[in-house]
Structure 1
């Protein structure tokens, strides 16, 4: 498979500087039957920023493997309706090896860190 070209260079202020990406911990993961494709409804604790709901395609992992996992979430995207659920935060992930397109594994820190901590 051929690698895709890198995108144009952008400034920090116009990109990552505008996103509020923070560390959270998954406290609940349940299958979301109303989602158009297999997905979990996740409840994530972002410390002083509260608990947020996200619907994500992390179903290659058993739910019990995700609970307790620290994850990175974009807190300042507009909520997105997925099935019957308003997904309040985008949990960052990458393609799960060998899985169908869009099925992901979470991006997580090597070391547990403070909930609500900002990515920089």
Structure 2
């Protein structure tokens, strides 16, 4: 919602923490209509960390659904990790070094995962990692896998 300039200036005087900083963009939104006693909430947004891309850049990334077949400990890795074998059906089986030790090896076997499959292999402590298994950190800082919520045929493309 666009805030009238005069009202915005008054709000900035009253709430100096709402001034934009290099690390965080603070935006003020009205909760109730413009009248006396209007309540406001402040929403903070982190700036994007990476440059903007166009669809053609995204289309180059081949993300596929696979099923974890084998999970082995990876003692030589700098950070705790597993060696993970993933089956992609007609695309074959590929290996990855993955820092997903918040899961037990038994919990991972049989799980469906989303993976980037068209990156060149990367040597990690003498092991050739052929794919990137996708995940995100939860509030506790643990890496959690991005997995489909429904049964998907292995090898199916993500778009």
* Greater Rg by CA: 2
Q: Which residue number in structure 1 is paired with residue 125 of structure 2?
A: 83
Quote the offset at 1:97 in angstroms.
Answer: 3.5
User: Distance between the aligned counterparts of 1:109 and 1:46, measured in 2?
Assistant: 14
Q: Greater RCO between the two (CA within 8 Å, min separation 6)?
A: 1
TM-score of the pair, normalised by structure 2: 0.68
* Contact kept in structure 2, 1:60 and 1:96, CA below 8 Å: no
Q: Which residue number in structure 1 is paired with residue 79 of structure 2?
A: 37
User: Distance between the aligned counterparts of 2:149 and 2:155, measured in 1?
Assistant: 16
* Contact kept in structure 2, 1:78 and 1:88, CA below 8 Å: yes
Report the structure, 1 or 2, having the larger helix content: 2
CA offsets 1:31-54 (integer angstroms, 9 cap, x no match): 101111100000000110000000
Aligned residue pair count: 115
| Unpaired stretches in structure 2, ≥5 consecutive residues | 1-23, 25-44
- Aligned partner (choices 67, 72, 88) of residue 109 of structure 2: 67
Quote the offset at 1:30 in angstroms.
Answer: 1.4
- Aligned partner (choices 82, 90, 114) of residue 153 of structure 2: 114
| Unpaired stretches in structure 1, ≥5 consecutive residues | none
CA offsets 1:2-44 (integer angstroms, 9 cap, x no match): 6531255422112x20011101000111110111110000000
Q: Secondary structure at the match of 2:158?
A: coil
TM-score of the pair, normalised by structure 1: 0.89
2:51 equivalent to 1:11: no
Q: Secondary structure at the match of 1:116?
A: coil
